[in-house]
Structure 1
Amino acid sequence: MEHPLNIYITAHTLISSLGFGISENRKAIHDYRSGIRMQEAGRISDSQILAGMIDSVELEKRAKELDISSYTRLEQLFILTIQEVISQSGVNLQESDCALLLSTTKGNIDLLSNQEKRTNSDKPGDSVQSTIDNPSFLQELSVDSPAFLWKMAERIGHFFEAANQVEVISNACISGVSALVVAKRWIESGRYKRVIVAGGDILSHFITSGFLSFRSVSAHRCRPYDIQRDGLSLGEACGAVLLETQGNANHIILSGGAISNDANHISGPSRTGDGLALAINQAMEEAGTLPEDISFINAHGTATVYNDEMESKAIHLAGLSTVPVNSLKPYFGHTLGASGIIETILCIEQLKEGIYYGTLGYETLGVPMPITVYGTHQPMPMKCCIKTTSGFGGCNAALVLSLPNTHLKQKTDSPTFCKAVVESANIVTIKPGVVENQGTAIFNSSETDFAPFIREAYKYLGENNMKFYKMDNLCKLGYVAAGYLLKDTNYRPEEIGIILANASASLDTDCRHQAIINKEGDKAASPAVFVYTLPNVVLGEICIRHKIQGENTFFVCQQSDTASLEDYARIVMAKGKLRTCIIGWCELLDGHYQAEFKQLNNISTIYE
C-alpha cells in the first residue's frame, strides 16, 4: 500500500494592498482594515474603480534595494516573495531536487498594452475591425518577450540561478491552489524534495475592462455571501510558500488536494455545485478527514451572485453545512492567480492563531443553502481547514490544511511512491491541412490557413454544436483534437481528466482583447472575447462537450514535453479515480497551429 509523506508548508510570505509581509497583512485584517480603495481614472481603468493596489512607492524602493528595477512590476513581486521564502528557509533553487512553480492568470499582460499602442500609433487610419482581425503587434512581438509566461518564468529562474526549468500553471482563478496541488504531487512522487510555489497577478486596463464587460464588478467594496452583495472587487497580490517533507510542530501540513471541472459553462458557475463538491470530497478523502475535523472553510467568496450561490450548494453537497465559512476578498480584493496562494497563507495564520477571520462587511446571509458566516473574528479550536477556489472554464480546486497534531496520516521514514501503469489508447495530431490518428491521416484539406481548415475538420467530425463557431481559435483547435481522440469513448464524468500545455497561453486572443480596448476604450471590451483570454478555457470547452469532471490543469512552457505530461498524468491517475486521462500540446498563435493529444488508460498502480 502507499505510505504518504507529510507535506509541510515551512515558509511563506505575501504582498498585497494591505502591506508587505505576513505581519502587515495580518495586522490589517485583525484591525478590520481593507486595502480596497478608489483608484483614479486612467491608472488601471478608463474610469474610477475600487481596487486593492500594491503600494508602488514601497515596491520601487524594495526593488532598488535588491537591484531588480529592470524587471517588470510582476516579476519584481515574484522575486521579492521568493527571496523572502529563501531567506526564511535557507532553501537553494540551484539544487537539482528543488523546484520553482509559478501560478498566474495573465502574467506580464500589461506589456501587451505598451506594444499594441506603439504599433497602432503608426497606423491611425486602421479600422477597429481590421485591428481586431489582424493585430499587427502580434507579428512584432518578440519570441522571447516576457509577455510569454514561459519567458517570464525563465527570467525569474535565471535571477535565482534555478537548476530546474521554472514551470507555470495558468488555470484561471484556481491557478494558485492548482499549483499547490501539483507541487504536493511532485514531492510525493519523488520528483523533487522541495518546491517553492509562488502566485501573482497585477491589475491593468486589460483585466479591469474584461471584468467590467461582464458587469461583475461592484461599485462598493465586495460583500461575500451577504444579501446585499452585487459583485466583486479586484485586487493585485503576490505570495510564495515552500513545500517540503521536513517540518516540525510549528508547520502546517498540506494534507489533501484535488482539482475538478463543472463540465457546465465556461464563464458561469455550476447551478448545482457538484463540481466543487467533488473537489472538496476528493481532497478530504486524500487527507483522511471527516466533516467533524474541519474547523472552517475559506471559500472563493467573490461576492458575485452566482458564485456565492454555487459555493453554498457545494458546501451543502459535501456535508459541511455546519462548518463556519469565510471569504478574505473584502480585505484585498480578488487577486486572480495570486488568490489561492495568499489566501492559503492566511488560512495557515488562522490555524496557528486559533482565530477565524471575519468576512469584512458581512451582515445577512443571502445564499440559498444555509451556511455559517461571521462578520467578526472568532476564536475557535482548530484542527483542519479547507481552502476552495473556482474559475472561468468551469474549474474548481480544494485543499485540506492541518495542524500537525491533528493530521490523521502517519509519516513514514521509507515512503513508497506510486504511479499508474498506463497504455496509450489513441494519439491525434493536427498540423496545417491534416488530422492524423496514430500517424495515419484521417482528414486532409487543401486549406492550410487555420480558419477554413478547422471548419472543414470540424464538419468532417460530424458534430453540430453551433457554439463551436463562437469559440476562439485556441479552443476550436483543442475541441476538434479532443473530438477525434474521444470519438466512441464513454466514461463516467469523474473517471476522465485532461492535462494540456502550450507556449503562448492565450496570447492570440489576448491581442484581440487589447486591440479592442486600445481602439475604442475600456467600455468597448467584449465579454465574448475576454472569456477566452485564459488558456484553460480550452479545457472547459472540452470538458463541457465530453462531460469531463476530473482533473483539468493547464501548463505553460516553452516547448512540448510529452514525457513530463505523461509522468504527471501517471501521478494523478494513481492518486485519484481516473480511468483515463488526455494529455497534450495545444498551440495556436498568429495563424500558426499544432495539436497533439494522447489518451492514456489506467491499467494498474506500481509502487517505487
Structure 2
Amino acid sequence: METKRRFVVMAVFIHDTNIISPLGFSADDNFQKILSGTSAIEKVFINDKIGSVYAGKINDELFNNHFQSINADFKGSRIEKLLIAALSPIVEKNPIKHDSVLILSTTKGNIAALANNDLNGAFIDQLAKNINNYFGLKTEPIVVSNACTSGVVAISLAKRFIEMEQFTNTYVVAVDELTPFVVSGFQSFQAMSNEPCKPYDADRTGVNLGEATVAVFVSNENRTESIQILGDANINDANHISGPSRTGEGLFLSIEKALNEAQIASNQIDYISAHGTATLFNDEMEAVAFNRLNLQNVPTNSLKGYFGHTLGASGLLETVITIESLKNNVLIPSFGYQQQGTTQQISIITKKEQKALKTALKTASGFGGSNSAMILVKNSVDVRN
C-alpha cells in the first residue's frame, strides 16, 4: 500500500442533510422507507416513443404540494424547484456567510429545457447561478459534472477547499431528473433492465434510472452529531468511454488512496456503500476491486434497488443514506439481491441488521473511467493507526 500521505490542514465534517426523492421529502423520510423495505422502482411512462420503463420518479403532485410550503410564488423550472426544496432547510439551519460556496453536482442539469428551445436554460452553469442567486450567496458557484461519480467528487472538492482554507463551509447539492433524453441515452447502450434491477445478483439484467435532489452542509465545525470525511480519492483509469476496467484498477487505486489518507487499514472498514448499478460489467468490476483490497468480507450493499440510478445525484444520495446507517448502527439489505452473481465473492447484505458501526466506505464509478472513494467515520471515534 502507498505510504505517502497528503498533509491534512484540518478535519472536515458533513452536518445537516436533506433528500427529495420518490420515497420522501427529507433524509429521515427516505431512510425510514428504506428500513421498511420500500422501493421507488415502478413502471413509469416516459413518452409515446419510448413508452414505459422501470424507474424511480418523484410524484409531481406530491412534490408541488410540498414546494408550496417553501415558496408558493416561485415560477422557475421543475429542477430549480427540486434544488430549492432540498437546500432550503439546510440554509435555514446553517446561515450563509460571506465566504460560503455552492457546489452543484449533476450530469445533465436542466436538459429538459431543450424541449422548450430554452438553450441558455439548459447550460449547467446557468442552473448553478440561478440557485446561487436565489439563496443570495456572494461567491461564484462551482459545478461538478463527472459522470456518475459527480456526487462523491463534489464532497471531495468541498473537503479540499475547506482544508486549503479557501472557504469555511460549503453547500453541496446534487440533482438529476428522469427525462426522455437520459432514458433514450441509456437505452442506446442497451443497459436498461426490463424489470426491477438486481445489483450483484446472478440474474441481473441492467440498470433502472431514477431521480432525486440531495443537499448537505460541509464545514470545519466539529459538532456532536457530525460525520467526518476521513479520506477520499478520485482516479480516472481512462479504460473506455463507457465500459469499466476488467481489473478494477481505477476503483482499486481510489480506495487505496482514500485508506492511505485516512490512515486506516481495509480491515477497519465496517460497511461499504457500493455503486452497484446491476449491469454485468460494473458489478463484476467492483467485486474484483474489493477482493484486491481484501474487502470481500465487509458487509456491502447497493442502494440502486431502492431509488434507481440517480446519476449525478447518486453519490450524494447514497452518502446521506450511509450517514444514516452509521448514526443508527444498522446495515441495510441490498434490494433485489438473491444469489451471488459476480465471479469473485463479496459480502452482500441480505437482511436488515443492527451492528455497531464506526466507519463506512462509499464508492462510485462512472463513464469515462471515473472512480471515487470516500471514507466516513463517526465524530469522536478514533480509528486511525
Q: In structure 1, how many angstroms separate the alpha carbons of the residues matched to 2:102 and 2:174?
A: 11
Deviation at 1:2, TM superposition (A): 3.8
From 78, 84, 102, the equivalent of 1:79 is 84
Q: Is 1:265 aligned to 2:204, yes or no? A: no
Q: In the TM superposition, what is the alpha-carbon distance from 1:8 to its structure 2 partner?
A: 1.1
Give 2:161's aligned residue. 186
Amino acid at match of 1:50: Y
Task: Tell me the residue number matched to 2:98.
Answer: 96
Does residue 322 (structure 1) correspond to residue 325 (structure 2)? The answer is: no
Asked if 2 retains the 8 angstrom alpha-carbon contact of 1:361 and 1:375, the reply is no
C-alpha displacement of 1:263: 1.9
Post-superposition shift, 1:409? 6.0
Q: What is the DSSP-based 3-state SS (H/G/I as helix, E as strand, rest coil) of the residue aligned with 1:397?
A: strand
Which piece of structure 1 moves more, 339-348 or 317-326?
317-326
1:341 equivalent in alignment to 2:316: yes
Q: What is the aligned counterpart of 1:164 among 121, 128, 139?
A: 139
Residue 264 of structure 2 contacts residue 384 of structure 2 at CA under 8 Å; is this kept in 1?
no
Deviations, residues 526-569 of structure 1 (Å, cap 9, x unaligned): xxxxxxxxxxxxxxxxxxxxxxxxxxxxxxxxxxxxxxxxxxxx
Within the candidate set 268, 271, 291, 1:296 is matched to 271
What CA distance in whole angstroms lies between the structure 2 residues aligned with 1:339 and 1:236? 9
SS at match of 1:405: coil
- Equivalent of 2:368, from 378, 384, 393? 393
Query: Is the CA contact (8 Å cut-off) linking 2:14 and 2:219 kept in structure 1?
Result: yes
Contact 2:156 2:233 (C-alpha < 8 Å) held by counterparts: yes
Matches within 5 A, 1:28-107: 28-42=33-47, 46-65=50-69, 66-67=71-72, 69-87=74-92, 89-92=93-96, 95-107=97-109
**1:164: how far off?**
0.4
Once the two structures are TM-superposed, the CA of residue 68 in structure 1 deviates from its matched residue by 5.5
- Identify the residue that residue 113 of structure 1 maps to in structure 2: 115
Distance 1:174 1:25, change over 3 A: same
The Cα shift of 1:408 comes to 4.0
Q: Is 1:278 aligned to residue 280 of structure 2?
A: no
* Matched letter for residue 341 of structure 1: L
Displacement of 1:282:
0.6
Match of 2:186 among 211, 217, 242: 211
Any idea what the Cα deviations from partners look like across 1:455-492, whole Å, max 9, x if unmatched?
A: xxxxxxxxxxxxxxxxxxxxxxxxxxxxxxxxxxxxxx
The answer on whether the counterparts of 1:4 and 1:409 sit within 8 Å (CA) in structure 2 is no
User: Which structure has the larger Rg?
Assistant: 1
Deviations 1:582-605 (Å, cap 9, x if unpaired)? xxxxxxxxxxxxxxxxxxxxxxxx
Q: How does 1:362-441 map to 2 (within 5 A)?
A: 362-408=337-383
8 Å contact kept, 1:105–1:201: yes
Residue 3 of structure 1 deviates from its aligned partner by: 5.1
Alignment of 1:13 with 2:18, yes or no, is yes
Q: Distance in 1 between matches of 2:330 and 2:262?
A: 22
Q: 1:224 deviation in Å?
A: 0.4
The residue identity in structure 2 corresponding to 1:55 is N
For 1:71 and 1:284, how far apart are their aligned partners in 2? 42
How many Å separate the matches in 1 of 2:159 and 2:46? 42
* 1:262 Cα deviation after fit: 1.9
Post-superposition Cα deviations, 1:139-163, rounded to whole Å, max 9, x if no partner, equal xx65xx2211111111111101111
Instruction: Determine helix, strand or coil for the equivalent of 1:282.
Output: helix
Query: Does 2:241 correspond to 1:237?
Result: no
Relative to 1, partners in 2 of residues 1:2 and 1:172: Cα closer, same or farther, differing over 3 Å? closer
Shift of 1:285: 0.9
TM-score by length of 2: 0.95
Aligned-residue offset at 1:59: 1.9
- Distance in 1, matches of 2:94 and 2:271, equals 32
Q: Is the 8 A contact 1:68 1:76 kept in 2?
A: no
Q: Does the CA contact (< 8 Å) of 1:14 and 1:22 recur in 2?
A: yes
Could you tell me how far 1:232 is from its partner in structure 2?
0.6
Change (3 A) 1:41 1:250: closer
Question: CA shift at 1:55, angstroms?
Answer: 1.5
CA distance in 2, matches of 1:184, 1:259: 13
Residue deviations 1:16-48 (CA, integer Å, cap 9, x gap): 1111102211111011010111112528x6211
Amino acid corresponding to residue 82 of structure 1 in structure 2: L
Contact kept, 8 Å, 2:174 with 2:213, in 1: the verdict is yes
Task: Tell me the residue number matched to 2:196.
Answer: 221
For residues 311 and 330 of structure 1, the distance between their equivalents in structure 2, rounded to whole angstroms, comes to 17
Distance 1:405 1:269 in 2: 37
Taking a change above 3 Å as real, the CA distance of residues 407 and 55 of structure 1, as seen in their structure-2 partners, is farther
Contact 1:253 1:407 in 2 (8 A): no
Does residue 351 of structure 1 match 2:334?
A: no
Unaligned runs of 5+ in 1: 116-140, 411-608
Identity of aligned residues (%): 38
Which AA in structure 2 matches 1:366? Answer: G
Show the counterpart of 2:3. none
Q: Structure 1 counterpart of 2:198, which letter? A: R
Q: For 1:255, which of 199, 224, 230 is the aligned residue? A: 230
SS state at 1:48 partner: strand
Letter of the 2:59 counterpart: D
> Which structure would you say has the larger RCO, counting Cα contacts within 8 Å and 6 or more residues apart?
2
Could you tell me how far apart the structure 2 residues matched to 1:76 and 1:319 are?
43
Task: Find the residue that maps to 1:74 and give its secondary structure.
Answer: helix
Distance in 1 of aligned mates of 2:153 and 2:82: 20
Give runs of aligned pairs for residues 524-543 of structure 1, distance below 5 A.
Answer: none
Give, in whole Å, the separation in 2 of the partners of 1:68 and 1:160: 15
- Contact 2:46–2:179 under 8 Å retained in 1: no
Quickly say closer, same or farther: Cα 1:68–1:103, change in 2 above 3 A.
farther
